[in-house]
Amino acid sequence: MLLEKLTSLECTLHGAKRNDRKWLEQILHPEFTEITRSGLRVNRQETIDSLTAEEGAPAILSSDFRLISIRDDFAILHYRTIHPEGTRASLRTSCWEYSDSRHWRLVFHQGTPEAGSLE
């Protein structure tokens, strides 16, 4: 059940809600940080500003989801992404925390190019 829930939340960030400021402010933990696929460290506000300004982002196909449940209120999600044309394969990790407001919130995310992936 938890794997399906976090997979669903993660995939909202790959689709239409990716540009929804209100949704991003709800789902991203106040202390959210990310290490981008290109190796940059960004904070919550930088992420929200970047995603809401994004236009015509390519589709992201996600697969191979695996969950590590650390505690009842904290989990790590590992998965793979690729663009539909077969480029930019990445290995991704997201850390999720169940908040006092009874919602899962994304605390940390990292994307790393998969070895041998096409850019």
Per-residue pLDDT at 119? 63
* Percentage of the chain lying above the pLDDT 70 cut: 97
pTM: 0.90
CA 114 remoteness from chain centre:
16
pLDDT higher at 58 or 112 = 112
- Under the banding of pLDDT at 50, 70 and 90, the label for residue 118 is low
Q: Please report, as a single letter, which amino acid is at residue 117.
A: S
Kindly tell me if the per-residue pLDDT of 36 is higher than 80: yes
Residue range 2-113, CATH number: 3.10.450.50
Nearest to 7 by CA among 92, 83, 102, 84: 92
Residue 55, token pair as written in the block: 């236009």
Question: Has residue 19 got a pLDDT over 80?
Answer: yes
Range 33-60 average pLDDT: 91
Q: Give the pLDDT score at 6.
A: 97
Measured in whole angstroms, the distance separating CA 17 from the mean position of its chain's CA atoms is: 12
Q: Quick one: pLDDT at residue 60?
A: 87
pLDDT-based confidence at 83, cuts 50/70/90?
confident
Please state the domain extents for the chain. 2-113
